[in-house]
Chains A and B, each alone.
Chain A
Amino acid sequence: QKEVEQNSGPLSVPEGAIASLNCTYSDRGSQSFFWYRQYSGKSPELIMSIYSNGDKEDGRFTAQLNKASQYVSLLIRDSQPSDSATYLCAVKGLETPLVFGKGTRLSVIA
Chain B
Amino acid sequence: DADVTQTPRNRITKTGKRIMLECSQTKGHDRMYWYRQDPGLGLRLIYYSFDVKDINKGEISDGYSVSRQAQAKFSLSLESAIPNQTALYFCATSDGQSYEQYFGPGTRLTVT
Contact = CB atoms under 8 A, between A and B. Distances in A.
Nearest to B6: A43
Interface residues of A, number: 18
Chain B contact residues (Cβ within 8 angstroms of A): what range? 10 to 19
A88 interface: yes
Contacts of A90: 101
Interface stretch (A20-28, A73-81, A99-107): A99-107
By secondary structure, the A interface counts as: strand
Contacts of A34: 99-101
A104 B60 CA distance: 23
B40 A44 contact: no
Interface of B: 33, 40-43, 45, 48, 58, 88, 90, 98-106
9 contacts: A32-B99, A34-B101, A45-B103, A49-B98, A88-B43, A97-B45, A98-B99, A100-B43, A101-B42
